Structure 1
Amino acid sequence: MKSMAFSAPLLMLVYGVLRWMDGLDGHRDKSGPAWRVGHVAFFAAMVLFAVMAVALARRASRGRRVAAVAAAASVFGAGCFCWVIAGDLSADFGDRWPLPDALQIAGPVLFLVGLVVLLSLEVAAGRVPVWSPVLLFVGYAAITVSLDLLPLSALVILAAMAPLWRPSAMPPRPVAQASRLH
C-alpha cells in the first residue's frame, strides 16, 4: 500500500511536469519524448491507483459492500483513463477504438468518487485523517479546471495519500496473531 500511495501520485507529477515542459514552446509535440514518457507515466499511475483501490477495499473493516462497489468504480474509471491514454499514445488505437463520450465523462467521475469513498472508509476506521479524502478531491478537482494544474494537483494528491505511507495506516493485526506474541 505504502509504495502505491507514494508512486501513483509521483508518476502523476512526472506526467504533469513533462506535459508542462512539452508545452513551453506554445504547442505539444505528440510524437516527442516528453509526450510519450509523460503519458506512459500517467498510464502507470492509473494502474497503480486501480491496484490501490482494490487493496483499500480488501482492508475495509466496515462497509465491505460499499468498499467493493467503490473499488469497482475506481478500477473502471482508471480503465477509462488508460483507454484514453492508450489512444493518445497510439493514433491507430484511438481512431479504431475511441472511448465513447459518455465514458470519457463517467470514467473520471467514477474513479474519483470510488477513491474518495475508499479513503472515507479509512477515515471511519481511524487509519487516516479526515483531510485525506478532502485533499484527494481538491487535487483532482484542480485538474478539471485546467490540465496545466496537473503538477500542483499531483502534489496535493501526494499529500492526500501521505497518511497511507505510515505504519499506523496499516490494518490492525488479527487478535489470534497478537495473542501469540505475548
Structure 2
Amino acid sequence: MADVLIVVAHPDEGSLTHRFASQLQGALAAQGARSSIVDLSAEGFEPRFSPSDHAAFLGRGDVPEDVTLEQKRLDDAQHLFLVFPVYWWSMPALLKGWIDRVFIGGWAFDQPPGGTLEPRLQNLTIHLVPIAGATSGVYRRHGYGASLSTQIEHGIVDYCGARRGSTAYIYDTDTKSREALDAEMKQLAGELTARVVTSRAQ
C-alpha cells in the first residue's frame, strides 16, 4: 500500500519522464512518505477500451480484472501523480487509455438514470507533471496550458470529485542541457514532496 501513486506513461526507462518519477519517489521517501511507481508501458497495460469494458459500462458484464487492480491501487492512495510527456498538446494515448478504462462509472462517479452526477473520488488528490518540449511562452501564447487544464483538471479531476493538486510543467526539454534539467527536476521533486507532506499533516 502506498500513500502516493506515481503513474508514468513512457516506453523509455531512460526518459525524462522516468527520471523525474524516480527523483520524486526518492524525495518522498526522504520525508517518510510511501510511494509506488506504476510504469504503464513496462507493465503492458492495455489502453484500448474493449468490448468487455463496454459491456461493463452498460451494466452487462463484470469490470475487467486489470481495471479492478488499478482501481484498488488508487483506493489505497491519497495522492496520484500523473507524469507524462506532452504529445500533440495532450497526454499520451497510453495514459488516456488508462484513464478511459479505470476512471469509470460505479467507481470514479455514479450517474443514476435520470439522476444527477455523484462524484466518488473525494479522498484522492491528483497532481500533474507534464514534460514539455516547448517553452512556457509557447504554451501561454497559444493557450496550450489552458487547453490541458480544461481537458484534465476540469474534465477529469473535477468531474470525479478529486482534489486538484499541483500542476507543474517541466518546460523546454528539447533545448535545455541534461545538467540543467536534472537540477530543475531535483528542485521540483522537493517542492512537490513538501506540498504532499504538508497536506498529510493537515
> Is TM more than 0.5 here?
no
> Which is richer in helix?
1
TM-score, normalising length: structure 2: 0.27
